[in-house]
Amino acid sequence: MDTTITKTVYAASAVLYALLVLTIFLRKKLILKRAGKCVLSVRPRSAKFSASIIVCAPFIMLFSAFVDLRFYFKWMLCAVALLATEIAVREASTLRSSGVYENGIVTEGEVILFTHISGAKKGSETGEIRGECIAELEVRGKGMRRITYADEGERDAVLKAIFECCPQLKRGMV
């Protein structure tokens, strides 16, 4: 019985993996539709992370099929591979489209609408990690979102564009 269930899990994992990868362009289209017209485009993020996970995830699932593990470990490896694929696909869907748009900010596979943002500011000096330039957005219902930019000029340009699109947020700047 365990082999039948395990085979079903592998088949379902393969189908889910394929669906996740095939949705990259659909996700991008839907995100950009919600975001509106581009106001400021930022430097594209590297695709190495997303591509390597998307390539390696099926090998993790195959590895679990050929290694003698208990069936729940095999299921767990499939679940971890699918979760990693979801994260990579989410990131890959907006790699070349990150920036400020008329309705919000597109970053890391999502659009943060201006209507959901209650404040925006530069990252605090103590919050800077290894010289990274961070913009902090207070998002209603989700808490503080920290977005990393390539340099201070890019971060400042993004904050300026945000405040031009949504002037009421300027009061929240520190």
Q: How confident is the model at residue 28 (pLDDT cuts 50, 70, 90)?
A: very high
At residue 166 the predicted structure's pLDDT band, cuts being 50, 70 and 90, is confident
Strand partners for 121: 136
Residue 131 has a pLDDT of 62
Mean pLDDT of all residues in 143-156: 86
Distance between CA atoms of residues 38 and 155, nearest Å? 16
Task: Tell me how far apart the alpha carbons of residues 142 and 41 are, in angstroms, rounded to a whole number.
Answer: 24
CA–CA separation, 144 and 140 (whole Å)? 9
Q: How far apart are CA 55 and CA 100, in angstroms?
A: 30
Domain chopping of the chain, boundaries: 2-35+45-92, 99-172
Note whether 47 and 95 are within 8 A (CB). yes
Mean of pLDDT over the chain: 86
The band of 82, judged by pLDDT with boundaries at 50, 70 and 90, is: very high
The burial class, CB within 10 Å (0-12 / 13-18 / 19+), for 109 is buried
Between residues 133 and 18, which one has the greater pLDDT?
A: 18
| Topology given in CATH for the domain delimited by 99-172 | PH-domain like (2.30.29)
Query: By the 8 A CB rule, do 99 and 38 touch?
Result: yes
Over residues 31-35, the mean pLDDT reads 93
Amino acid at 174: V
Instruction: Look at residue 70 in the predicted model and tell me its pLDDT.
Output: 82
The token pair that represents 64 in the structure block: 């679990």
The token pair that represents 152 in the structure block: 């201070």
Confidence band for 89, pLDDT divided at 50, 70 and 90: very high
Give the residue, 136 or 174, on which the prediction is more confident. Answer: 136
